Amino acid sequence: IEPIAAPSAISRVVIQVDPGPVFTFGSVAITPRAPTFEPTEGLATGEVARVSTLRAGTAAQIEGWRQAGHAKAAVTRQDITARHPEKTINAAITLDPGPQLRFGKLAISGESAVREKRIREIMGWPEGAVFDPDDIDKVENRLRRTGSFAAATLTEAEVANPDGTLDVTATISDQLPRRYSFGAEVSTLDGLSVNALWLHRNIFGGAEQLQIYGDVSGAGGETDGIGYRLGARLT
């Protein structure tokens, strides 16, 4: 475009991209290797050198170290070299597993109508045990399974304690305490059916659920009379 007499409008722009040759992995090393990890498909010499594959392989090694209790495993150095004549990528990723940690104190954040003592009983926090990310998932699932909480998230502290423990904060929020539902159905053969349900998600303050339900069916139908049902369930 002329810098002095530029056009008043540009109606068409064409961008041409030269992708260049496809590079493959030459040497790939992610060290130190975790005791256990899931191998990453495509992360080997001769495979197409995708950045996403290299990231996935690094993440798998970090997760492997975390599974072994090294909660703060992280990348400390990465040397990635493109060798143009050979069309290869050499990658050397260095990890710092950090020390093996144990679960420390658990802090609870957020407003909840459920008693804190009961929340801790539900969570079954493994204080003092070797760190395992699967235990974090289990604790979150225990809270969610109660049905009393809309959200339950555990966050690890950024820095471990001098005694080799790692504190965790649980952020929770309650579901609405009550739920009501009503339904009706009309059939020329079965007649009118109605049903209702009332649910309290925290009836005694300990995440107990009380559900009362009932239905009436067959009203005005051609069946053998009217059927009634009334029930309750405490979980």
Q: Which of 98, 102, 114 is nearest to 62 (CA)?
A: 98
1-10, 27-36, 181-190: which is most confident: 27-36
Q: Measured between alpha carbons, how far is 65 from 63 in angstroms, rounded to an integer? A: 5
Residue 8: band (very low, low, confident or very high) from pLDDT cuts 50, 70, 90: confident
**Is the pTM value of this prediction over 0.95?**
no
% helix, strand, coil for the chain, step of 5 = 15, 40, 45
**pLDDT tens digit sequence for 137-189:** 999 999 999 999 999 999 999 999 999 999 999 999 999 999 999 999 988 88
**pLDDT tens digit sequence for 126-147:** 999 999 999 999 999 999 999 9
The torsion angles phi and psi of 217, rounded to 5 degrees, stand at -135, 155
**pLDDT tens digit sequence for 192-226:** 899 999 999 999 999 999 999 999 988 877 777 78
Q: Measured between alpha carbons, how far is 231 from 187 in angstroms, rounded to an integer? A: 24
CA atoms in the 13 A half-sphere facing the CB of 1? 9
Q: Which of 112, 116, 184 is nearest to 150 (CA)?
A: 112
Residue type at 56 in one-letter notation: A
